[in-house]
Amino acid sequence: MNRKGQVPTILLLVMALVLVISALSIFVSFGGNFDSRSSEISNILANADFYQRYLISESEIAIKEVASEKLYLNEEDLKMRFREIMKKKDFGIFELRHYFDKMEKGEFSFKKEGDKYRFEINNVSVYSESGANRYERNFGFEIEVDADGKVNFNEHLPKDL
């Protein structure tokens, strides 16, 4: 009798049994709960969206405030006045630090063109994080306010993309 094939067959059977047992233990230990992970990611995205909308709204309010003062200033003084107003709105929220750093450095455009005030900022970054998960959103936007208070808003991708 030829018994050379029995050892590999027994090893194959043992390996298959080990794989089946490990697969069954994985199935049993899996809780099937994707809800907590999904809600965590959803909260991260919602926070980043909120931060973006917050910055846009606060910028619009500041532009309207400068426009309502009806100051006759040159471009640099208008930027300075806008920066002063925005500095009051900086509450030290870490996720918004990039925007307010750009405000401090003057890395934005604020002009009066006729009876319109125009604000533009590029490559703004806001982020939200929870645990090891982090989501960063990069964007730019421009807001134009005319003498009647009518707002024209335009959002765009960062200039360096």
Those residues with Cβ within 8 angstroms of residue 88's Cβ, 6 or more apart along the chain or in another chain: none
What is the per-residue pLDDT across 109-161, written as a single tens digit (0 to 9) for each? 888 888 888 999 998 999 898 878 888 989 999 999 887 778 888 887 766 54
DSSP 32: -
For the question of whether the overall pTM of this predicted structure is more than 0.85, the answer is no
pLDDT confidence of 57, banded at 50, 70, 90? very high
Residue 4 has pLDDT above 80, yes or no: no
pLDDT confidence of 69, banded at 50, 70, 90? confident
Residue 36: predicted pLDDT? 63
Q: What's the per-residue H, E or C state across 71-122? A: CCCCHHHHHHHHHHHHHHCCCCCHHHHHHHHHHHHCCCEEEEECCEEEEEEE
Please state, as a whole number, how many other Cβ atoms lie within 10 Å of the Cβ of residue 51. 19
26-35, 43-52, 56-65: which range is least confident on average?
26-35
- Across the range 75-89, mean pLDDT stands at 85
Those residues with Cβ within 8 angstroms of residue 64's Cβ, 6 or more apart along the chain or in another chain: 145, 149, 151
Residue 75 has pLDDT above 90, yes or no: no
Residues 136 and 125: beta-carbon distance below 8 Å: yes
Instruction: Give the integer Cα–Cα distance in Å for 20 and 14.
Output: 10
- End-to-end alpha-carbon separation of the chain, Å? 73
Residues 83 and 119: beta-carbon distance below 8 Å: no
Residue 142: predicted pLDDT? 92
Residues 65 and 152: beta-carbon distance below 8 Å: no
- Across the range 20-37, mean pLDDT stands at 80
The whole-chain average pLDDT of the chain stands at 84
